Amino acid sequence: MADGSDEKLAYFQAITGLDDADLCTEILSAHNWDLELAISSFTSHAAPSSSSSIPPSSAAASSSIPLSAAAASSSAPPAGAAPPPGLAWKIVTLPFYVVSGGVHLVTGAVGLGFWIAGGVLSRTLGLLGISAAPRDQEADRLIPLSASAAEAADFVAAFERDYGGAASSAGPRFVAEGFMDALHRSQREYKLMFVYLHSPEHPDVPAFCEGCLCSPAVAAFVNENFVAWGGSIRREEGFKMSNSLKASRFPFCALVMPSTNQRIVLLQQIEGSKSPEEMLTILQRVVEECAPSLVVARLDAEERRNNQRLREEQDTAYRAALEADQARERQRREEEERLKREAEEAERKRKEEEEALERAAREAAEKEAALARRQQEKAILLGPEPDKGPDVTQVLVRFPTGERKERRFNCSATVSSLYDYVDSLGCLKAENYTLVSNFPRVSYGSEKHSLTLKEAGLHPQASLFVEIGS
């Protein structure tokens, strides 16, 4: 037998679970070795098994199935089975995927073209003042969906259309998202996952969907306790899940729950037609067996949330205390800086006052020294006091303090000599003063400094007082 036939035979055995190689060869030969047609024919006409679910002991053991990002691409064949098809089968099936992808690409491009043309036409009519017919806002948006989510949405729409789930409010509420997204949803909601793999050509599927899945009791129980996900085995993700879950008889349901490292735990397989009562019995048993683990998971998650919230509160309190400490430290530094500035300002003022005092004392000392020099100079200018005689004038000077000074001058001496005399005494601190006689009152100001005493009428004797000028 050719290598391609061997690979097809091995793959057919892995999918159908048949161990009889001769029987599998006859089935493939009857379908002209068309592997896809042979699998479809077998799954459509296979007789229901008398025991289509995993025994409770197997469910309790909960086998763990690995998944990739969209679910497992294919599961490993059971022990003793032939290895999965290799490169030759991939090359044989390549044209189908290429054509399928090309068709999707062409239809998508055509749809995008119509959408753009419709938008341009609507814009043009709006500019012309013509209102186009109102459109649904959801239909007017391009919503990017992943391939798995689009496939799930197509399945939900087809299921509701064929079995009236939406119209009659019956049937499981299948989520319109990829398998892994639905698995994550079940993990977030602490629920088990109800998986239904739909075989459109199987004769028992319509009756099972209408009579069992869409029965009010089963649908209500599934919606209450599970996250329901469905997929057609004629589509990519549904086909992959049928391989991962080793679905060999239809109708096929599975109860799973998420595990670690992108794996799932298979809790129960339900193969073949079931009555609503049988389905409810299986579902209730699995829910009762898994309820404690779900409760523990929920409690663990709540404890983690509480611990996280407590840590956040502690972090918030710590940050608040740290900010308060920083504010106090900043206030302390500002107070220290303020006190330092005040001390520096006080020191500066003290130094300025000391400098001012020193300057005033220095100026006073200089002034005293200047007065002393002036007195000395004036005394030198006066010369010795003359003796009494006919040409000598006796002058009496009275000061504002009541002090009296008397001296003799030559009658030929000028009035300015009298001012030199007063200055030489040092009795006055003021420099602006005038000598005045009482009777008659005569002021001997600067205009009379050059007159002699005799010319000024002060000879032979005169009595003058000092008048301080303003």
- What does the pLDDT look like over 75-132, one tens digit per residue? 333 333 334 444 333 333 334 333 334 444 444 455 555 545 555 565 555 555 554 4
The overall average pLDDT reported for the chain is 78
**pLDDT at residue 69 greater than cutoff 70:** no
Give the span between the Cα atoms of 31 and 24, in whole angstroms: 11
* pLDDT tens by residue, 315-371: 999 999 999 999 999 999 999 999 999 999 999 999 999 999 999 999 988 888 887
**pLDDT at residue 297 greater than cutoff 60:** yes
Q: How confident is the model at residue 232 (pLDDT cuts 50, 70, 90)?
A: very high
Give the span between the Cα atoms of 141 and 115, in whole angstroms: 10
Give the span between the Cα atoms of 16 and 13, in whole angstroms: 5
* pLDDT tens by residue, 175-202: 999 999 999 999 899 999 999 999 988 9
Strand runs labelled E in 233-378: 252-258, 263-271
**pLDDT at residue 425 greater than cutoff 50:** yes
pLDDT of residue 241: 92
Element spanning 362, H or E: helix 276-382
Q: Which residues contact 356 (CB under 8 A, 6 or more apart)?
A: none
Structural domains of the chain, with CATH: 50-79+144-318 (3.40.30.10), 392-468 (3.10.20.90)
- Range 431-454 average pLDDT: 88
**pLDDT at residue 1 greater than cutoff 60:** no
Q: Hey, CA dihedral for 27, 33, 35, 37, is it positive or negative?
A: negative
pLDDT of residue 432: 85
**pLDDT at residue 377 greater than cutoff 80:** yes
Contact status, residue 210 vs residue 231, Cβ threshold 8 Å: no
Give the span between the Cα atoms of 104 and 110, in whole angstroms: 10
Print burial letters for 157-194: b (CB count within 10 Å at least 16), e (below 16): eebbeebebeeeebbbbbbbbbbbbbbebbbeebbbbb
pLDDT of residue 238: 92
Contact status, residue 252 vs residue 271, Cβ threshold 8 Å: yes
pLDDT of residue 122: 56
* pLDDT tens by residue, 280-295: 999 999 999 988 888 8
Q: For residue 127, how far is the Cα from the chain centroid?
A: 43
Read off the amino acid at residue 31.
Answer: H
pLDDT of residue 65: 59
Q: In this predicted structure, which of 9-23, 102-116, 365-379 has the lowest mean pLDDT?
A: 102-116
Q: In this predicted structure, which of 48-52, 64-68, 133-137, 439-443 has the lowest mean pLDDT?
A: 48-52
Residue 136 burial (CB count, 10 A): 7
- Range 248-261 average pLDDT: 89
Q: How confident is the model at residue 6 (pLDDT cuts 50, 70, 90)?
A: confident
Tokens read off for 158: 């087809």
Higher pLDDT, 241 or 3: 241
Report phi then psi at 401, rounded to 5.
Answer: -80, -5
Strands of 442-444's sheet in order across:
404-410, 392-398, 461-468, 433-437, 442-444
pLDDT of residue 440: 83
pLDDT of residue 408: 93
Tokens read off for 72: 């497992």
**pLDDT at residue 272 greater than cutoff 90:** yes
Higher pLDDT, 2 or 395: 395
pLDDT of residue 137: 40
pLDDT of residue 50: 33
Give the N- to C-terminal CA distance of the chain in Å, as an integer: 145
% of the chain at pLDDT higher than 70: 76
